A and B are shown apart, each in its own frame.
Chain A
């Protein structure tokens, strides 16, 4: 089956973002495919490469990057939700005249249309943190 995953909560505050990662891994292990992972609302913090958790805690952006590169996952971060929460790529940092950018490699900023499109082409859309 083709799945898409929507993540609405930030890492470390709630379990949902980490559960989503484990769910994605379980889907791939079971032979399913993932059309897109869409990071919305506070979930955009999953793509913040400035997150620096202690060594004995999970580094979610890194885990997503690793899973994405192993399985060519499409990791899309909602641009409106991200920019207002301070998760910017180089382009947006330039647009808003910020001194740095922090969107982790492997993630991409895009619009809500990417979520609508994911609902159209996926057999199942699973929300975490809703």
Chain B
């Protein structure tokens, strides 16, 4: 039995432990051979920014960990288009290819997954 898992990211990369904990859950579910998708909403779009330099604040680079997701067969990455635009970002600013979602496509994404975990 397998269940699809949607990991919903809502927080900026280094203000809390949530992004790293979300990533650990994504990788664990991947190991359990569950289909995993990630959605980035609100400030979480900053998690995907290129050229992060967190060593200046003693943190590990989240973007380089996220960029390893395709190696774990996790390549369903969704980004809220409005969140990206509101933060003045563009898909070219992101480390991985993503699917942009308009606001009214977010609810169907939730509905299409068996399990939704929010971080």
Q: Is the CB of A120 within 8 A of B34?
A: yes
Chain B contact residues: over half helix, strand or loop, or mixed?
mixed
The count of residues in chain A whose C-beta lies closer than 8 Å to any C-beta of chain B is 18
Chain B neighbourhood of A112, CB < 8 A: 24-25, 28
B69: Cβ under 8 A from any A Cβ: no
Show 29 residue pairs from A and B whose CB-CB distance is below 8 angstroms, ordered by the A residue.
A6-B117, A8-B18, A8-B119, A40-B25, A41-B17, A81-B21, A112-B25, A113-B28, A115-B25, A115-B28, A116-B32, A116-B34, A119-B5, A119-B29, A119-B34, A119-B114, A119-B115, A120-B2, A120-B32, A120-B34, A125-B115, A125-B117, A127-B117, A127-B118, A130-B10, A130-B18, A130-B117, A130-B118, A130-B119
The count of residues in chain B whose C-beta lies closer than 8 Å to any C-beta of chain A is 22
A117: Cβ under 8 A from any B Cβ: yes
A residues contacting B by CB (< 8 A) are 6, 8, 40-42, 80-81, 111-113, 115-117, 119-120, 125, 127, 130
B residues contacting A by CB (< 8 A) are 1-3, 5, 8, 10, 17-18, 21, 24-25, 28-29, 31-32, 34, 114-119
Give Cα A8–Cα B18 distance, bound, in whole angstroms. 9
